[in-house]
Amino acid sequence: MSRIAYVDGVYQPIDLPGIQVEDRGYQFADGVYEVCAVHHGQLLDEDAHLARLARSLAELSIPAPMSDGALKIVLRETITRNRVSDGIVYMQITRGVARREHGYASGLKPVLVVTARATDPNRRAAVLEHGISVVTVPDQRWARCDIKSISLLPNVLARQEAVEKGVQEAWQVDTEGLVTEGAATNAWIVDANGVLRTRPADGGILNGIVRQILMSLIGDMDVSFEERAFSVSEALSARECFSTASTLAVFPVVQIDAKKVGDGRPGPISQAIAARYIQHSLIEN
């Protein structure tokens, strides 16, 4: 079955042309996006994703193409047409189509694209059991990483470096030697003193939805927590490390730059946090 995409008001086969050449998303990366996980046909943390989408649009002065209620209908229709039970739904909004000039006129009509695809439902369990490896790379991104912009070239290059080194993710490091976040994940450690830490959600990172939810759940768990940046050396000496993202929620990190974290296996705190998030998802969704 051909995959179906929603493109600016039309449901169509994904391989048909649908975006104009002078769409500012294509020419300037002038747009934003969100990705929601789909579990048993249900969108996880949907309202939180839509709230962050609204914030990103507002930061770039791009009007919403439709109401949240209408967008929810489009998301579900795209999922249904693609017969996705477990997977992801991707939504992208660009500023619109205009003659190629860096400045833009007011009143452009934003362009919405939505796609959905299935993913392996067993991958989350495999990642939780075995963990992932990461490499560290210099953070070359712009200063507004809190906006979920489609301008992702530095993230692409970081993830490609990870792929070429045979690992699953790259952790980006700022000029002070502190980890910002992964190419497509937030970064966490359980430091040598047993304190769970992740970088504050300033302009240097994207405030991940799973990150936000875990922070709301940690109070129910027997673990000390601080929003405080950490260095690569602190990560290497940590008891545990993990990444978070909407795709698989919690990714235990068992190796950094070819050096083992702890005993080289997913640790008990990351496993407990993953279980707590899954419990939350089943209740809330």
Single out the catalytic residue among 148, 165, 259, 260.
148
pTM: 0.95
Tell me 199's DSSP state: -
**For residues 48-64, b (16+ Cβ closer than 10 Å) or e, as one string?**
bbbebbeebbeeeebeb
Whole-angstrom Cα distance, residue 249 to residue 87? 13
How confident is the model over 82-97, as a mean pLDDT? 97
How confident is the model over 107-114, as a mean pLDDT? 98
Nearest Cα to 257, choosing from 137, 160, 129, 177?
137
Domains of the chain: 4-120 (3.30.470.10), 124-284 (3.20.10.10)
pLDDT of residue 285: 65
pLDDT of residue 281: 83
Instruction: State the pLDDT confidence band at 1, using cuts at 50, 70 and 90.
Output: low
Cα distances (Å, whole numbers) of residue 112 to 8, 11, 93, 146, 178: 5, 11, 5, 21, 36
pLDDT per position as a tens digit, 220-270: 899 999 999 999 999 999 999 999 999 999 999 999 999 999 999 999 999
**For residues 255-265, b (16+ Cβ closer than 10 Å) or e, as one string?**
bbeeeebbeee
The number of beta carbons lying within 10 Å of the beta carbon of residue 121 is 12
Instruction: State the pLDDT confidence band at 115, using cuts at 50, 70 and 90.
Output: very high
Whole-angstrom Cα distance, residue 189 to residue 229? 10
Catalytic annotation present for 148: yes
pLDDT at 282 over 80: no
What are the strands, taking DSSP E only, across the chain? 4-7, 10-13, 31-39, 42-43, 87-94, 111-118, 132-138, 169-173, 179-182, 186-190, 195-198, 224-227, 240-245, 249-256, 259-260
Whole-angstrom Cα distance, residue 249 to residue 157? 23
Q: What is the DSSP string of 101-121?
A: -SS--TTPPPEEEEEEEE--T
pLDDT of residue 50: 98
Phi, psi of 184 (to 5 degrees): -145, 25
Whole-angstrom Cα distance, residue 92 to residue 31? 7
Whole-angstrom Cα distance, residue 77 to residue 271? 34
How confident is the model over 135-144, as a mean pLDDT? 97
pLDDT at 114 over 70: yes
Q: What percent of the chain has pLDDT over 70?
A: 98
How confident is the model over 84-90, as a mean pLDDT? 97
pLDDT of residue 117: 97
Phi, psi of 203 (to 5 degrees): -65, -10
pLDDT per position as a tens digit, 17-72: 889 999 999 999 999 999 999 999 999 999 999 999 999 999 999 999 999 999 99
Token pair, residue 165, equals 């080194």
**For residues 193-219, b (16+ Cβ closer than 10 Å) or e, as one string?**
eebbbbbebeebbbbbbbbbbbbeeee
